[in-house]
Structure 1
Amino acid sequence: MTNKFTVTAKAHTDMSAVDLLASKCEKSNIELSKIKIKNLMKQGACWTKSAKPERIRKAKYEVKRGQTIKLFVDLNIQEQDMSELKCLHETHHYGVYYKPVGVLCQGTKYGDSYTILRELHKRMGREPFLIHRLDKETSGVMIIAYTKKGARAFSQQIKDHKIEKTYQAEVKGHPPESKRLESVIDGKEAILEYTVKKKLEKTSIVEVKLITGRKHQIRIQFTELGFPVMGDPRYGKGNGNDIGLQLVASKLSFDDPWRSGNFVTVEIPKEKQLF
C-alpha cells in the first residue's frame, strides 16, 4: 500500500458512509479497517463528490443511491501537539494567536485535524476565518477572525498594507547592516526591509519588516541576496541545521477596526523570539 491514495465509492443502495467505504476497500484489497476509516473521516479526509464538495465527518452519514464519496488517505500525517496554539490578544471579532512550528493554518483534502482553523473551531464551537497564513515550518503571531465582519475588515487592511508584519530570522553569513530588498515573485512586486540585530560567528540575526506579503517572500529574497535563512528545507545551499527553519513572525501591529485610534501591537512571548 502506498502512503497516499484515494478511495472512491459509489452507493448502489442507501448505506452508511463507513460501510460503503469499507466495502469498497475490501473489494479493492485495500487494508483499511472500519476503525481506521472512521478516524480518517473524523480527521476530515472524506468528501462528497459534487460540484461543491463537502467534508463528511460522521461515519453514520447516509450515502444515497447513486451518490459518490471519496476518502483521501495520507498515511504520513502525524499527530501534532495543539496545546502551544495560544491566544495572545482577543476581542469579540478576532483573536491574535501564537502558531507553533509544524502546525498548518488550514487543511487539505487529506484532512484538517491538526490545523489552526479546525482546532479553533473545536475550541469555540463556531467556524473561524483565516486572514493570512504562515508556512508550516514558521512559528509566530497571526490574526484569526471570529466573525465575517472581522474577516472583511482585516482583509481590507491587508489589501491596503495597513497591517505591519515584523519577522526575525537567522541567516547564513553576514549581510549588509540594513537594506531594502525589492524583487518580483510570481509576477508580483515583493518588498521588505531588514536590519541586522546580532552577528554570530557564521550567521546573523535579522529583523525584517514585510512591506508586501508574497508566498515564501523572506526565504526567497534572502536566498537571492546570498544569505539564505538557516534551516530552510527548500531555499539556499549550505544553510542546513538540526533545529529547523529559523524564521519567526514576531510581531503584528494594526488599527483595531472597532476601536477608533486604538493601535494594537502584539508580540510573541520573549522565549519564542530569536533575540
Structure 2
Amino acid sequence: MLDILYQDEHLVAVNKPSGWLVHRSWLDRNEKVVVMQTVRDQIGQHVFTVHRLDRPTSGVLLMALSSEVAHQLSQQFEQHQINKIYHAVVRGYVNESGTIDYALVEELDKVADKFAKEDREAQQAVSHYTTLSQVEVPIRVGRYDSARYSLVELSPETGRKHQLRRHMAHISHPIIGDSRHGDLRHNRALAEHFDCQRLMLHASHLALNHPVTGERLVISAPWEQRWQHLMNHFNWQEQCPAYHEVEFIRPIIQDTELS
C-alpha cells in the first residue's frame, strides 16, 4: 500500500518510496512492483502519469485519473506552471542561497533510453537552492578526520533529466547517495556510520492550480523512516516546513485555461 497524499475525481498523488519505478521500464524488465500498477490496484481505477521521479528519488508523485486531465497537467509541467520543492542532503557547507543556471546536455540511460536519439545540444536548466542547516560529524572520509554536510531546499525551474543531481554536482556539493554524479567516499561513509543507503533527494512539496476547478493545491509528502533516521543523527528533525509554511520562489501562473 502506498501513502495517498491527495485524491479527488480527477487527480491522485502518492508518496513514492525510494527504489520504486514509476512504471515498467527497460531499467528492470523483471520488476513487478511499480507505482502505476500499485496505485491502480489500490484505488481500483486506471491512472495516467504526468511527470516522473527517478527510481531512487522519493516524494510527491502526481497522476491523473483521465487522459484529458493528464494532457492538461502535462501542459502545465511543460510550461513550468507547477512549482516543486525538494529536500536534499549534500556534501560540504553550501552558501545560504543561490541560483544555478547551467545548461545540460540530455543524459541518456544505456538501458532505458537505448532506442532514443541522442541530442548533444545543451538545454537551459535552472535550479534555485536555499540552505536550511549544516553539520560537521567526526567520521573520517578520505584524508579528513571529519565530514561536513548541508540540508538544502531545491526548486527546479526547468525539468531536465537528473537536473538537481547534476546541478548540485556542478557546484561541488553532490547529493549523498548519488552513485552516478556523487562522491562515492561520502556515500560509503554515511552508509557505514548512519545506515544511509539511499539517494538523499525527496520531492517534498508540489503546488499547482487544479486543472479542472482552478483551486490552488499544495501537496506535501513526509520524509520516510530512513530519511528521518539520518535527520535524527544530524539533529535536523524540525527542518522540513509544514505545507502551510511553504514559500515558493516562483508564483503559480494564475491564468491557466480551465476545462
Structure 1 and Structure 2 fold alike (TM over 0.5): yes
2:252 is matched with none
TM-superposed CA distance for 1:97, in Å, is 0.9
Q: Which has the larger radius of gyration?
A: 1
Q: How does 1:23-102 map to 2 (within 5 A)?
A: 83=1, 85-102=2-19
1:163 is matched with 82
Q: Is the 8 A contact 1:165 1:210 kept in 2?
A: yes
Higher strand share: 1
Structure 1: gaps of 5 or more residues: 1-82
Structure 2 residue matching 1:200: 3-state secondary structure:
strand
Residue identity (%)? 31
Q: Is the 8 A contact 1:112 1:118 kept in 2?
A: no
Structure 1 residue matching 2:52: 3-state secondary structure:
coil
TM-superposed CA distance for 1:132, in Å, is 0.7
Structure 2 residue matching 1:259: 3-state secondary structure:
coil
Question: Does structure 1 residue 140 correspond to structure 2 residue 59?
Answer: yes
TM-score normalised to the size of structure 2? 0.70
1:73 is matched with none
2:186 is matched with 239
Structure 1 residue matching 2:53: 3-state secondary structure:
coil
Counterpart of 1:121 in structure 2: which amino acid?
A: R
Structure 2: gaps of 5 or more residues: 106-121, 137-147, 232-238, 240-259
- Number of residue-to-residue matches in the alignment: 191
TM-superposed CA distance for 1:86, in Å, is 1.5
1:188 is matched with 123
The verdict on how the C-alpha distance between 1:209 and 1:144 changes in structure 2, with shifts beyond 3 A counting, is same
Structure 2 residue matching 1:151: 3-state secondary structure:
helix
Deviations 1:120-147 (A, max 9, x none): 2222344311111111111100101111
CA distance in 1, matches of 2:31, 2:7: 24
Structure 2 residue matching 1:203: 3-state secondary structure:
strand
1:20 is matched with none
Which residue of the other structure, out of 3, 9, 21, is the alignment partner of 1:104? 21
CA RMSD in angstroms, aligned pairs only: 1.6
> What stretches of structure 1 move > 6 A for 4+ residues in a row?
none
CA distance in 2, matches of 1:204, 1:219: 15
Structure 2 residue matching 1:215: 3-state secondary structure:
coil
